[in-house]
Amino acid sequence: MKNFNIEDYLDDITLFSASQEEPQWMLDLRLKAAKQLTELELPNIERVKIHRWPLMNVGNLNEEILGNPVMPSFDEMEDNPMIIQGRTTTLYEQMPVELSEQGVIFTDIFTAMKEHSELVEKYFMTKAVPMNEDKLTAFHAAMLNGGVFLYVPKNVVVKDTFESLFFQNMEDNSAWIKHVLIVAEENSEITYLERLQSEGETSEKLSANMVVEVIAKPGSKVKFAAIDRLGKDVTTYMNRRGYIMRDASLDWALGIMNDGDVIADFDSDLVGEGSHSEVKVVAISSGRQTQGIDTRVTNKASHSIGNILQHGVIRDRGTLTFNGIGHILKGAKGADAQQESRVLMLSDKARGDANPILLIDEFEVTAGHAASAGRLDPDELYYLMSRGLPQKEAERLVTRGFLGSVITAIPVKSVREELVKVIDRKLAD
């Protein structure tokens, strides 16, 4: 990572904050994060060296190049709540009147800061992802330039899927820094779908920084799905984390289909008794791509349940590392932490790791893990080819079968179908 001097950007940060009409507390947070940034270390991802990665290429914070984002045709769009956004500019926003009348808020992060300032301030980087956790979270807080806020009041059950589509124009060489803040009040129920997508080409090395915070209040149920498709010249940091309270549940279904280098933290903090989290991840590495994914469930409360299921495929000279971490803290009696991480290598030059880590600080708990990293079974491949299938098609079918156990566990049918299409496209490249 090249030398980064935050002093060079303080005026730009202040100007950007003013241009978005941010409340004073947000500007103060930005400047505090900027001050602490130089004192903090990069996050540590086991077996992945990121110190030379271009994770903090800022560019021009105050000049957005929109380009020509591919907008869905209106006759194909559903009536569900939706936001389509470039780096900072919101291109399209749809919110059913009946949801607004129930007190649901779904808007871009800057509008939320202006119109619901106290509500956003209460949860923004205060419970799930601390601003000063490491260098990249501080960079995120200081340079944030886009995102959404979703708030669902107590006892409100929303059947429709909330959908965000974030476009990155590859001709815009500025850092792409998104924040998604979801607050589900007591006994509410929501499903949220997020897509990250690069458009166009570039000769620059770009960076993306994505932080998601989900606050699941007592008795709430949140389903979070994502399909990530950022470009090969984009180096990405992702931090998606849930703060899950008593008897609440948070199900993650994450398709990591980026073409550039990625480090990711997918965490669930089970802070309330009886809280529950399911984390399902599929990832594909190809070319010379490196991906390091830490998936952690921390059982902080009694009778909490956390399950991790992640499968990855590696092609060409790609590298993929899954670190599955289950941590049961002292006092979390009756907790259950289970994990399965498997990596399939389609090339003899591919490199893969599946590292299970169990940290148990309490008695009377249940915990277990399964992990494997191996090559494509030549017998399976031979059987399919002997039935007349070309090698590429045979590899695709075996890979689909390998990822299938995760894909079928994704709760939203439309997300399952879309993810299968994305996987087929990535395997065909």
What is the DSSP code string of 113-144?
A: HHHSHHHHHHHTTTSSS-TTSSHHHHHHHHH-
- Does 1 have pLDDT greater than 70? no
Instruction: Tell me the average pLDDT across 357-371.
Output: 95
Could you tell me which residues come within 8 angstroms of residue 135 by beta carbon, excluding any fewer than 6 positions away? 37, 40, 41, 42, 43
Give yes or no for residue 72 having a pLDDT over 80.
no
Query: Please, are residues 338 and 308 in contact by the beta-carbon 8 Å criterion?
Result: yes
CA 228 to chain centre: 8
Please give the pLDDT value at position 74: 61
Count the domains in the chain.
1
Work out the percent of the chain whose per-residue pLDDT is above 70.
97
In a domain, 43, yes or no: yes
Give me 134's structure tokens. Answer: 């490491």
| β-strands 290-299, 319-328 pairing | parallel
Q: Are 245 and 128 in contact (CB under 8 A)?
A: no
Confidence bin at 76 (pLDDT 50/70/90): low
pLDDT surpasses 70 at 167:
yes
Asked if the structure places residue 173 within a domain, the reply is: yes
- DSSP letter for each residue of 234-290: EEEEEEEEEEE-TT-EEEEEEEE--SS-EEEEEEEEE-STT-EEEEEEEEEE-TT-E
Note whether residue 292 is domain-resident.
no
Instruction: Please determine, for residue 99, whether its predicted confidence score (pLDDT) is greater than 60.
Output: yes
Pairwise CA distance, residues 322 & 344, whole Å: 12
Half-sphere exposure of 272 (CA within 13 A, CB side): 20
Residue 398 banded pLDDT, cuts 50, 70, 90: confident
Q: What is the pLDDT of residue 240?
A: 98
In contact, 325 and 360? CB cutoff 8 Å: no
Tokens representing residue 415 in the block: 């997300």
Neighbours of 27 (CB within 10 A): 16
> Residues 6 or more apart from 316 whose CB is under 8 A from it?
286, 287, 288, 347, 349, 350
Asked whether residue 265 carries a pLDDT value surpassing 70, the answer given is yes
Confidence of residue 253 (pLDDT cuts 50, 70, 90): very high
Provide the pLDDT for residue 11. Answer: 95
Residue 77 burial class via C-beta count within 10 angstroms: exposed 0-12, middle 13-18, buried 19 and up: middle
Mean pLDDT of 388-392: 87
Look-up of token digits 């059947």: 159
Which of 47-61, 231-245, 309-323 shows the lowest per-residue confidence on average (mean pLDDT)? 47-61
The CA distance from 174 to 257, in Å, is 22
With b meaning 16 or more CB within 10 Å and e meaning fewer, what string describes 363-399?
Answer: eebebebebebeebeeeebeebeeeeeeeeebbbebb
CA 87 to chain centre: 17
Tokens of 125: 């980087």
Mean pLDDT of the residues in the chain = 93
Cα 234 to Cα 172: distance, rounded to the nearest angstrom: 12
154 part of a folded domain: yes
CB 156 within 8 A of CB 104: yes
3-state secondary structure 177-230: EEEEEEEECCCCEEEEEEEEEEECCCCCCEEEEEEEEEEECCCCEEEEEEEEEC
Dist. CA 143–CA 102, nearest whole Å: 33
Q: pLDDT value at position 85?
A: 96
- pLDDT, one tens digit per residue, over 338-348 is 999 999 998 88
Nearest one of 131, 133, 231, 239 to 178, comparing CA atoms: 239
Q: Is residue 191 part of a domain?
A: yes
Report phi then psi at 78, rounded to 5.
-80, 180
Least confident of 146-155, 168-177, 265-274: 168-177
Residue 373 inside a domain? The answer is: no
Residue-wise pLDDT for 203-242, tens only, equals 889 999 999 999 999 999 999 999 999 999 999 999 999 9
Among 237-251, 332-346, 410-424, the range scoring the smallest mean pLDDT is 410-424
Residue 401 — pLDDT band, cuts 50, 70, 90?
confident
- Tell me if 78 is assigned to some domain: yes
In a domain, 129, yes or no: yes
Mean pLDDT of 52-76: 82
| Banded model confidence at residue 75, pLDDT cuts 50, 70, 90 | low
Residue 331 in 3-state DSSP? Answer: coil
Least Cα distance to 304 among 327, 325, 281 occurs for 327
- Angstrom distance (rounded) from CA 387 to CA 384: 5
Look up residue 186 and give its two tokens.
Answer: 């007591």
CA-nearest of 417, 234, 396 to 313 is: 396
Q: What is the largest CA-CA distance in the chain?
A: 68
Q: Is the CB of residue 160 less than 8 Å from the CB of residue 80?
A: yes
Given a cut of 60, is residue 327 above it in pLDDT? yes
Percent of the chain that is helix, strand, coil (3-state, to 5):
25, 40, 35
Residue 243 belongs to what domain range? Answer: 6-271
Confidence (pLDDT) at 202: 86
189-203, 228-242, 325-339, range with the lowest pLDDT: 189-203
Q: Cβ distance 305 to 276 under 8 Å? A: yes
